[in-house]
Chains A and B, each alone.
Chain A
């Protein structure tokens, strides 16, 4: 009798629950005129003051920018920037002066800005060895660093720090002076803590760096561990876009308005070959960062658009009340074929 279907012990009736019957309590929002207008107005109310706040913050920031790559090129070398920069004999020292437009309260941040420099190129980004930077035990971990991996291709002579990123280290230097007084440039704390404490080892020292046939950028003090070489650390946080600023140092004294700053630049870094521009930037900071009107403008624009839309919708709803159930509003009613 086993072949017979067994008597059904329990009913197969589905259990009732709001979940299985798809009757869960739900909020069913619908874009009513009230909602639409209120939401636009709310955004506008929120954004317009925020925009003004950002603008005023940005307004208070004092920023001096000076492009010097062409200015520091002697006339005899105009249009031959590359031969100028590659030659060992040319004088790379260049003096620039600038006037402080408004009082700059300490700290004043000094940046160098590069243009058309693809630090985000994949070949460039990958050409580094994070392990080697962190741990002396991984000194020969230079697989990804080609062609700047080992000195003369000798595996026992790994370059520390290896790779194109380190090799192309920015090496212009700036000496700032106010009147006759040289301003002290603080190069501490220009890098992120996680870099100096974790990513760059305090017991990893540069080795074989810039000893190859081709010299890239700056050199490193072989007696200082990498964790203290903050210029390198800043450089090695690759920039996202081809024009970028990097922190050079800080001045911990105020600069008064109309003071003249003299900058002695060692114009070492080769941007002439790829047509890049070099700038030096002095800037104070606000709570939102450097001089950046974009935040304010963005907030104001979006707030303005929302206000505009709110007004439009008010007009639309008032002037053109919708006759509910007008068949012509059924889009697929007009063309029965549906296409």
Chain B
């Protein structure tokens, strides 16, 4: 630490928080008792070795498996799937004489299938392990004895170690803060990874240890901490420290949590209290809920259905088998004597026919297992992994600025992306960039600033008027993509009246000066001066605060230094024409909180004048103005209203001069309040500050733009055209939310707004007067009334678009069990829904309400930790991998860098994936039913004795080799229409939402097709080959010939069927489809060439008996054609006369009308309902209005 403790600040004095001095309370008496048994010997390397042996080390594992547990655990996971378990059971039973085929052939496919899945699991887990490895091998400085700190890996940390964490590093474990680079041992902590809050939190160590702030001091530092056992509560901590033979109480104020980051502080020293899995954050992490897609759930029920069929036909076969078996022996008289019924083993014994039938039932269950597609699960998994590879590699979803491609974190939900009915979106950071730009201000009743906001641009688009604003329009359009074209991040202010020092020529230049001084002083940001360039950057608690300080800097009030008691800035002095330094003595900071909605500082300027500078929301500020401070009130109010209308965040700035006596009185009260330990301490502080923040003099207002992300309005428009509903759930206040709603065309003029709120005067009055229960009752009644009224309004004229806007407090009541369904009906009926001021939990509840109430697929998109609940609750959670923490991304299913990529993700990838998976599953059922039918029919001809016509290995390799690859190719590569058309005809997306490709009708259609194919194949084959000779040499067809021929036909038919179903033939499709057929012949050759005791009935079957026979080839030819004719006719008619939406687009493409606007519009406007949201709808609505207006005018003119 060369620079050492350059900033020795005592922030603890100016802030109002409780610090340093903890008192013992009830909780501390529990120490040593159950739940509070942890003892940590700090810095006693020798002793702690022994004492902390029982505590976990700091190795953190997020993997599902270890090398030891991988095999049993993953096997267990595999066999939890009912189909896999069934195949395991049949595989085991294959070793008994019951089996209709050899054990090896039954087990091999299962091994391949399970093996492939396990390899996939293994690779995924290995990747997780790599991440763990990276985290666990991060280095931190640890006290190694004699005051020397050495670098050590995180995983080697032990409980009791003293570590030194430097600026911008993460804490490696839960630490007890001992001291920091600040003299009063405070430090700033960023907890974004824990709670998503971006503001910095202040922590402070005990006074007793605050002086141990140098490496060498730790040589003889010893302390014993006794505290609670590891638990998941982030905000509590109970413990005591014994230091220098004194007991000190510890509180959360001293605890630094793992995964949070040290900010604005050069270094801290801390003692490790909880390590590894004992840390609060890891205790807190819940396993992500495992999500399954709707298609997979339906697929499961189809598999159960197939099981039912399987059991049914096995049962029927067994009854028949039992009867004929019993019939074989009539007393001493045998019927089918060649079966030796009188000397039979149990499986065929006519004397015990019922038992034989039961055994046969088991055999049949094994034999008909080919109805169940064993490779379906693994194929789906392979397909989905490849689909996610495509998503990850999509160049159109790569965000250059942040260098972030899309990242699908879970692979099992890709097809859900094509079925989204409702999108629930966060606002900040998702729709907006969370980058604030100082864009306008109103000072002394004059509005300044000519920047064009996104909202204004959207509105201009709406009204169709060209934007004529100082020619920056074009530039801004380009600048949208990245802020790099803006000269200064967070600053987009343009007004030649003010910039470059011209403000002094304005009429109220003194007010302007005060205004900007206030901006430069009244904040909690910390400057960071680059020593080489002299440029100042700021670290602020929130982006708007940073925007203010930056604005002040750019306008000539450069805040550059903060000490514990002073704030200094450079100001351009208009009189001396040079920069002068001004230093204000900082006396108090009255912080911002959501109740106060304002913050103030009390400073003493260079002339010794005491000033209270205050900035806050308009709702609280205008009431606090002095009588003589309202000079500009009217003009400012108007400007503030305009700004809010334009979607800007506004703050009112005001100040007040204090007299010494007044301040003295306040300060005494304030200190007393701060030091009070009673429960109502916060109220006391608020009360004290309330008294001083009054009689303010208005300076003006600021307007900060919460910038929309690029392409958001366009994306929302596309999604709305695709019939997807978009709800915005935000923590922001109603006005902001409505502003953003306007900006992204979710709201528009002419849309009727149903606003549900508890801000009405009578409710507020009731709240002030009544006690809790009464308030709740009144509020609930009010919400209920408003919802019912809204619903009545909606029912009355359902054709008009409505927008529902509800605030968090009302939402809490609206989500009560008795109202929530009515609320849902109302919300579903509205075109747009905006929930403002909603808590993370409410977001999750709303998501659940939509998901469960409508039964439709929901998607939640968000970027912050407050969206985690929503992301996990929704069917699909999309995380924005933006600037905020990784928490949302870590709990999301798919991470994208920008909201606008959602358009491509859903309309292109979602649509494709949905289509591919559903087609693939249908095809799987088709091919297995076709095959299973032939097996079953053959059984009927073998008196249900359980004898397959096919060689064991034909049977077992059917699913694995000859037919699965084309299905996988379909699942990975098929496209009904290209990406361009997916985007051009967004309505295509409705195919997924309405599940047209995986509805029962289609599934059963495919199953029926399979049944028909199987029947055609079987009967044509057996009739063609038996009983006459099938060859010129007079030999007749035995079982091996008939079996191989039927099998050949099945392979041909299912592969050609695939070729008919595919609409996108790449080389890969050709290779897999025709390759599947060729592979069968190759297999037949190779298998036939193997030694006879392995190949058994297949020995030389192809070369000797099949290939030289023309009838074999003829049968293959006409059976394949005959089996495909029905589907071909169906498809030809359907495609021509009843084309589905994708079919129509294919026609348009084929006929070359893609650029013919008439055609395109005709197809595009096939709408299930008129689109009511998005700017297209907006312009249509406007056109309609104009049209009606014209009509009226014409009428009145006459």
Contact = CB atoms under 8 A, between A and B. Distances in A.
B39 interface: no
B338 A24 contact: no
Contacts of A250: 1034
Contacts of B1135: 30-31
A22 B337 contact: no
Contacts of B945: 118, 120-124
Contacts of A31: 1131-1132, 1135-1136
Interface string A115-137: 00111111111010011001000
Given A113-B1027, A239-B1038, A283-B1029, A82 B333 contact: yes
Q: Which interface residue of B1035, B1067, B1133 has the most chain A CB atoms within 10 A?
A: B1035
A295 B1024 contact: yes
Interface in A20-47: 20-33, 36, 39, 43, 47
B195 interface: no
A62 interface: no
Nearest to A301: B1122
Contacts of B995: 338
Contacts of B979: 22-23
Contacts of A8: 403
B72 to A, nearest CB: 35
A245 B1028 contact: yes
Given A122-B942, A338-B995, A47 B1136 contact: no
B10 interface: no
28 contacts: A20-B390, A24-B1068, A25-B1066, A29-B1063, A31-B1136, A47-B1121, A82-B333, A122-B947, A193-B1104, A216-B337, A237-B1040, A240-B1039, A240-B1043, A243-B1027, A273-B333, A273-B334, A273-B337, A285-B1032, A285-B1034, A298-B1122, A302-B1125, A305-B1125, A316-B1136, A320-B1137, A327-B1166, A330-B1166, A331-B996, A336-B1168
Interface residues of A, number: 113
Given A250-B1034, A288-B1111, A289-B1029, A239 B1039 contact: yes
A219 to B, nearest CB: 16
Contact of B336 (A43, A107, A118, A337): A118
Interface stretch (B394-402, B744-752, B857-865): B394-402
A297 to B, nearest CB: 10
Contacts of B735: none
B1096 A43 contact: no
Interface string A271-294: 001110000000101111111101
B881 to A, nearest CB: 11
Interface stretch (B116-124, B183-191, B339-347, B570-578): B339-347
B975 interface: yes
B235 interface: no
A238 interface: yes
A103 B470 CA distance: 107
A144 B369 CA distance: 25
Contact of A298 (B404, B1118, B1147): B1118
Interface string A220-258: 000000000000000001111111111100100000000
Interface size class of B (residues with CB under 8 A): 35 or more
A161 to B, nearest CB: 15
A209 interface: no
B1093 interface: yes
Contacts of A54: 1114
A287 B1112 CA distance: 12
B345 A146 contact: yes
B1034 A109 contact: yes
B269 interface: no
A306 interface: yes
A29 B1070 CA distance: 13
A327 B169 CA distance: 62
A87 interface: no
A95 B389 CA distance: 78
3 A-B pairs with least C-beta separation: A338-B994, A290-B1028, A240-B1042
Interface string A307-339: 001000100110010101101011111001111
A241 B1026 contact: yes
Contact of B1022 (A198, A241, A275, A325): A241
B1038 A238 contact: yes
B1139 interface: yes
Contact of A26 (B1034, B1066, B1129): B1066
A121 B395 contact: no
B1137 A4 contact: no
Contacts of B1069: 26
A44 to B, nearest CB: 10
A117 B1026 CA distance: 14
Contacts of A148: 340
B193 interface: no
Contact of B1029 (A3, A16, A47, A109): A109
A118 B333 contact: no
Contact of A198 (B140, B169, B340, B1092): B1092
A228 to B, nearest CB: 18
Contact of A244 (B339, B1020, B1027, B1136): B1027
B1064 A28 contact: yes
Q: Which interface residue of A28, A36, A216 has the most chain B CB atoms within 10 A?
A: A28
Interface of A: 1-4, 8, 11-16, 20-33, 36, 39, 43, 47, 50, 54, 82, 107, 109, 111, 113, 117-125, 127, 130-131, 134, 146-148, 164, 167-168, 190, 192-194, 198-199, 216-217, 237-247, 250, 270, 273-275, 283, 285-292, 294-295, 298-299, 302, 305-306, 309, 313, 316-317, 320, 322, 324-325, 327, 329-333, 336-339
B1032 A286 contact: yes
A239 to B, nearest CB: 6
Interface string B396-436: 00101001110000000000000000000000000000000
Contacts of A27: 1064-1066
A28 B1032 contact: no
B1076 interface: no
A13 B398 contact: yes
B943 interface: yes
Nearest to A135: B1093
Contacts of B1140: 330-332
A332 B942 contact: no
A12 B1028 contact: no
B539 interface: no
Contacts of B333: 82, 273
Contacts of A107: 1034
Nearest to B406: A14
Contacts of A305: 1125
B28 interface: no
Given A29-B1063, A31-B1132, A330-B1141, 12 more contacts: A22-B390, A26-B1066, A122-B100, A125-B947, A242-B941, A247-B1036, A288-B1111, A290-B1029, A316-B1133, A316-B1136, A329-B1139, A329-B1144
Contact of A247 (B100, B1034, B1121, B1147): B1034
Nearest to A113: B1027
Given A273-B337, A338-B994, A285 B1039 contact: no
Nearest to B1140: A331
A247 B338 CA distance: 20
Contacts of B1162: 324-325
Contacts of A121: 336, 339, 942-943, 945, 947
A31 B334 CA distance: 59
Q: Which interface residue of B151, B336, B999, B1022 has the most chain A CB atoms within 10 A?
A: B336
Contacts of A3: 138-140, 169-170
Nearest to A287: B1032
Contact of B393 (A4, A21, A122, A244): A21
Interface in B1112-1168: 1114, 1118, 1121-1122, 1125, 1128-1129, 1131-1133, 1135-1141, 1144, 1146-1150, 1159, 1162-1163, 1166, 1168
